[in-house]
A and B are shown apart, each in its own frame.
Chain A
Amino acid sequence: MSERLGCTPSQTVGPFLHIALPWPDGPFVVPEGTPGSFWITGQLFDGNGDPVIDGLIEIWQADPDGRFDHPDDPRGATKPAIPGFRGFGRSDTDAEGRFRILTVKPGATPTTDGADEAPHIDISVFARGLLDRVVTRLYFPDETAANDADPVLASIDDARLRSTLIASPSDDGGLRFDIHLQGAHETAFFEL
């Protein structure tokens, strides 16, 4: 086996990410007006319960059929049925730590051992004071049976931590998903 190169280390995104990383279409995983689309809204908090105003939230997800338009999906890269579906969204946080992303619900995805994963969205969080990203997942509150059978959720023994991954219905018909970097309400984070 040939020698592998050393990875470039992570560094914090710093306090000035707002000048570069927000895109006008960043929050739109799907175009506005897409049937079935909804807003994921939330706030990013630190261990004091203060909003994190210099953060960036990114999401990545399957399309509603559980497919990815990507060559490493071994079922074959599939063009999504929804015009303009990107699978990716990003939102910086505002002066109250709020973020919002417009998307559609992903389908369940198969695993290598034959089980299905419940519909889920992978999330990266970047911020000043985070020397590397942290990764979490969003699951859907109306998928109780699928969530109960989900291998990743099942791997989390701590019921409180597990519950941080289930979004709540929000007043606008979308989902609410707050992220707490630290403390009593700390979100479950993953090592990839």
Chain B
Amino acid sequence: MNEIREHFSSKVGFVLASIGSTIGLGLLWKFPYVVGQNGGGLFLFFYFFSILVIGVPLFMGEVMIGRYAQRASVSAFQVIEPSRKFWKIGGFLGAAASFLIMTYYSVIAGWGLSYLLMSLLGFYEGKSNLEIAAVFDRLASSGSITTFWHFIFTALTTVIVMGGVRKGIEYWSRIMVKVLFVLLFILFCYSVTLPGFGQAVDFIFRPDFSKFNGGAMLEALGLAFLTMSLGQGIMISYGSYLKKKENVARMALVVGASVMLVAVLAALTIFPVVFTFGLDPKSGPTLVFQTLPFLFAKLPFSMLLSSMFFILFVFTALTSAVPLIEVVAANLMEHFPIGRKAAALAVGTASFLLGIPSALSYSRGIFPNWQGIFRTDFRTTVDDLVSIWIIPLAGLFTTLFLGYVFKKEIMQNEFGENVSPALFPIWVFLLRYVCPFIIVLLLLEKSQIFNH
């Protein structure tokens, strides 16, 4: 391309876009539950440690690959190491992961949009618990409505990406991440006043040695890896929009710290509500679309609470979905002679179409026998494929590339002068030995390859 590559207008813009990308739905609805189930405070502590050991180093590495190559994920590997095309596979895997995630992410986020609308219409009024819970079943099993929202969410994301790095991604990520923080804080303050707050603190923070074992440690490492948006080519793309000279290590730490902060805040916001009504903690769509709505309905200011929560939900999803489309579109732009708008439109369309089976997976509109054959519904199958295989593999490629292929003089140079030089060998050590080891362990454990 002849034109000058568009860059983030400022460091803050990059950091906010990255935070938006890393804070995803998993953090909102999975993290609190996993923490409670795996030993509370101990797990939390180990998760923080994992963010530092695996999350931050790989995050820095991905950003540097992108910034140095000034290319999106696939060609970035190629530009840095032209002689060995093999490493490009890492870039392909990352782009594939992003694309596949987007196809089903927008289905779930679409339900979030629907619940936002329902909150604004005041659908809680005069409904019993069972009726509120039944609404979700009706929604999820209505293929047409789910597809409608899947379309709307994909379209919103695509339009943002079409706007470009500054006017699209940076602009909207900035606004949404700020709103997200404010809303989370307001909801958190509200949760503090609830009677279940103490129990939630207990559930999340109290160290429980009986539950904390090797499996829990691995879970924490995996969570750290997933919550930092690694192995999806995202930070490579975002890094390529970064100007040289920025202190990558510090930005990675800021992002890592924000993720931890938001994770804990989200847990302390959601679980007090659940415990106030004496219910068992849950995770996933059941928590968000069935448990929380009928609990909100019983609390004062229900309409306001529920609307704010679902705005938070939608913004969380949207800021994470934007880079998913962006990664694939950026790669397309570099391999084919098309502009940003055409590329984003193509990716959005493809993602919408490939997401339709996920949207219909509850109504069984397509592939009625899928569940009988693959043992999970279509959406979960794609989710599992990505999180068990593709992302860890892409991460493995990336860390090996950084540790053994990327020239150390260049990396040292890219590391920046403002950072203590003593940290550089530690970083390289982590990338060479610790990260690959952990990722291989994760792959073996999650895929249960030796269980049979």
Q: Do A and B bind each other?
A: no
Give A contacts to B, CB under 8 Å.
Answer: none
